[in-house]
Amino acid sequence: MPDSLSSLQISLAGIGGLTLVGVVIYNHWMSRKNAPRQADPQTEPLPEQALGLGVSEPLEPVLTDDFANLPQPERKARLDGLIDVIAMVEVDQPVSGDAALAALPSTRRVGTKPFNVEGCSQLNGEWEPLLPGRRYTAFQAGVQMANRMGALNEIEFSEFVVKTQAFADAVNGTATFGEMLEQVARARELDQFASDHDAQLSFTLCARAAAWSPGYIQQHAGRLGFVPGAMPGRMVLPSGVQGLAPVLSLTFDTHAAMADDPTLSAIREFSLSLDLPQIAREDQAFERLRQSASRLAKDMDAWVTDGAGQVLGDEVLDQIAADLGHLYDALDQRELSAGSLQARRLFS
């Protein structure tokens, strides 16, 4: 019996050892299988867009960046009767730009709306933002009637009157205002139009199997021309024109991007989005969104979904494209074409 028991114990110990080894191997395999995918260690060239900017580590364009190689957006007077309530300020004699700038209020907002003053240049008779060293024969003050925060209301209109009158008094001018209820009604109508024709689209790419590391996402997006954004977890496909909004944005978990060791961060989804009224129709933002999502989904083994888990097929995407075509048409008819200065201000 002792010899048999000893043999049985040895056999069980052997089986136990094999089982333990099997568990260790299985756990190691599962760990490797479920570990976030990492970026290819080989160095890849920067996207052509980044190279055009003349920087080695491209970042989302900001006002302080030097983008001399990019075309400039068309510069026009900011105030426009389509989207602004405008008050005229007449003066008896030309006023220097320095004096006019000194007379501006400390804040250039009225409630949640931008407030601006322009001068009629004595040199060429055109309206322009106030500049030192110029002389102006008249002024116009304006407040935006609507933005994504809502329509101009009676309280904001009254604040606009107070700020404009204070400016007029400081330059020895006389201000003329429209009737408040009429202007507020215009603002509400514009706000309703904007609400009915706004479009901020977003696709969510979800991992089918293994999760991704931040570097893995950045590497694949970089191949499509995306560059690092100003915030962790954000990349953008820049516009070809300096100062304009990016054509597309890509965002993923900020905490994962800021982790002490991002290679250990496991990300299972990220979003691709566009702000349609901010992008000109000819830039084909939705087509580029669709193509980018399809390419990334293929290369990264992901589903393209609506963010609620519903997979988006070609039929749904075709319908979205058709609907957006109607939206572009409506904006054009209202003289608020997508990507125009007026549209960028209204849908902000």
C-alpha to C-alpha distance for 190 and 297, rounded to whole angstroms: 39
Shared-domain flag, residues 145 and 266: no
Does any domain span residue 286?
yes
Final residue before a domain boundary, out of 172, 195, 218: 195
Contact 257, 214 (CB under 8 A): yes
141: left (phi over 0), alpha (psi -120 to 50) or beta: beta
pLDDT, one tens digit for every residue, the chain (348 residues): 555 556 656 555 555 555 454 444 444 444 445 678 888 876 554 444 443 433 334 555 543 344 344 455 555 568 999 999 999 999 999 999 999 999 999 999 999 999 999 999 999 999 999 999 999 999 999 999 999 999 999 999 999 999 999 999 999 999 999 999 999 999 999 999 999 999 999 999 999 999 999 999 999 999 999 999 999 999 999 998 888 999 999 999 999 999 989 888 899 999 999 999 999 999 999 999 999 999 999 999 999 999 888 999 999 999 999 999 999 999 999 999 999 999 999 999
C-alpha to C-alpha distance for 253 and 266, rounded to whole angstroms: 10
Sign of torsion over alpha carbons 109, 111, 112, 115? negative
Shared-domain flag, residues 220 and 334: yes
Contact 227, 67 (CB under 8 A): no
Q: Beta strand pairing status for 269-275 and 248-251?
A: antiparallel
Q: At what angle do helices 285-300 and 214-223 cross, to 10 degrees?
A: 130
Final residue before a domain boundary, out of 179, 195, 211: 195
Does any domain span residue 10?
no
Does any domain span residue 260?
yes
Contact 99, 171 (CB under 8 A): yes
Shared-domain flag, residues 120 and 258: no
pTM above 0.75, yes or no: yes
C-alpha to C-alpha distance for 72 and 61, rounded to whole angstroms: 13
Residue 199, both tokens: 């479009």
Shared-domain flag, residues 260 and 165: no
Q: Which domain holds residue 254?
A: 50-70+199-346
The count of domains in the chain is 2
Does any domain span residue 163?
yes
Shared-domain flag, residues 126 and 247: no
CATH number of 103's domain:
3.30.1400.10
Shared-domain flag, residues 321 and 235: yes
Q: Which amino acid is at 13?
A: A
